[in-house]
Homo-oligomer: A and B are copies of this chain.
Amino acid sequence: MSKKVLVLPGDGIGPEITEQAVKVLKRLSDEGAIDIEMEEALVGGAAYDAEGSPLPESTMQLAREADAILLGAVGGPQYDDLPRDKRPEKGLLGLRSGLGLFANLRPAMLYPQLAHASSLKPEVVSGLDILIVRELTGGIYFGQPRGIRTLENGEREGFNTYVYSESEIKRIAHVAFQAAQKRNKKVTSIDKSNVLEVTELWKEVVTEVAKDYPDVTLEHMLVDNAAMQLVRWPKQFDVMLTGNMFGDILSDEASMLTGSIGMLPSASLNEENKGMYEPSHGSAPDIAGQDIANPLATILSAAMMLRYSLGAEDQAARIEQAVSKVLDQGLRTADIWTEGTQKVSCSAMGDAVVAAL
């Protein structure tokens, strides 16, 4: 039976980049290499504009029915002044929590063809290959109580709650250790246990879970030190295991080390490996609609989708090889272009990947 893929283009460059990934998936499907049905729906600012909500119930329903979701990006400055529950980000957060997508996998790897794009010295980043495993449905992102209240003295106070239970920590820790088993067998767990009780529990539970994985080395690192070490010598990391907020910060830092965030995919999985797949970069409203965005992160997200949610490892690898091939051919979108390579548009890049399959 064919698998259902929900495509959520979203805002900004979202539509143009997902269009390229859809082209790639369609080609594999036309060939009979994969058996999928694709449907499209609105999310984020686009959904707010059309229906007054960043995550309409119709979209949520389709998302529940889908085997996997491919998302472009959400957000744009025109939505900045909306009330919090109408903002594009709320659509993304609603999908994550509504579908129980607790495991966010964010690879930060350097494509050898793009080594020069990094702001770091080549010897510091060449061969870089880090996987960030970020908890995505808990922590301070969803903790209660939260809000802005007025104190007795008349001034306002904003507050949020950073909270994790043992079971939440355990399940994301297992994901990290299992990922490490298939990689270089090292997990670095990030905390701020010298200050925050919630991360003291985090550290303790992760240490406990590690006992199930004697073949994996566990290391603990304070978040401030991790932010430093990523700059100093990022190749010391294999899998980084983080809570929601530290993962937000460190994964963005790590992806920028490669200098080509336009290349980095991500996956957000639930307990049954149903997943939402999206590029690590944002909606880039400043270049939206100009056909100059880099679609490769989205195309690589589609590859991750085939691997993790649709059981088509071989086709995932085919897409990844095709991407490597177009880079070898010297094709580059504007964000990764350098002297001596050929600048191509977003859609031309999509076509080139299809041709290279």
A residues apposed to B, CB below 8 Å = 75, 84, 87, 89, 93, 119-121, 124, 140-141, 143, 146-148, 151, 155-167, 192, 194-202, 223-225, 227-233, 245-246, 248-253, 255-257, 259, 261
Contacts and interface: CB of A to CB of B under 8 A. Distances in A.
Most buried by B among A119, A156, A223, A261: A119
How many copies of this protein are present in the complex?
A: 2
Most buried by B among A75, A93, A161: A161
A261 to B, nearest CB: 7
Contact of A261 (B120, B140, B228, B255): B228
A161 B164 contact: no
A231 B89 CA distance: 24
Contacts of A201: 148, 156-158
A165 B156 contact: yes
Nearest to A225: B252
A151 B165 contact: yes
A180 to B, nearest CB: 23
Chain A contact residues, majority secondary structure:
helix
Nearest to A195: B141
A157 B163 contact: yes
A231 B231 contact: yes
Given A148-B200, A156-B166, A227-B256, 12 more contacts: A89-B195, A93-B195, A119-B121, A120-B231, A146-B197, A155-B165, A158-B164, A158-B199, A159-B198, A160-B198, A161-B162, A230-B253
A140 B249 contact: no
Contacts of A261: 228
6 contacts: A87-B194, A158-B200, A227-B249, A227-B253, A227-B256, A232-B256
Given A249-B249, A252-B225, A140 B120 contact: no
Most buried by B among A143, A158, A196, A228: A158
Most buried by B among A75, A157, A160, A250: A160
A192 B198 CA distance: 20
Most buried by B among A146, A195, A230, A261: A195
A157 B194 CA distance: 17
Contacts of A75: 194
Contacts of A124: 119
Given A120-B120, A256-B231, A166 B157 contact: yes
Nearest to A163: B159
Contacts of A156: 165-166, 201
A231 B119 contact: yes
B233 A252 contact: no
Contacts of A163: 157-160
Contacts of A194: 75, 87, 89
Contacts of A121: 119-121
Given A119-B231, A227-B252, A228-B252, A84 B162 contact: no
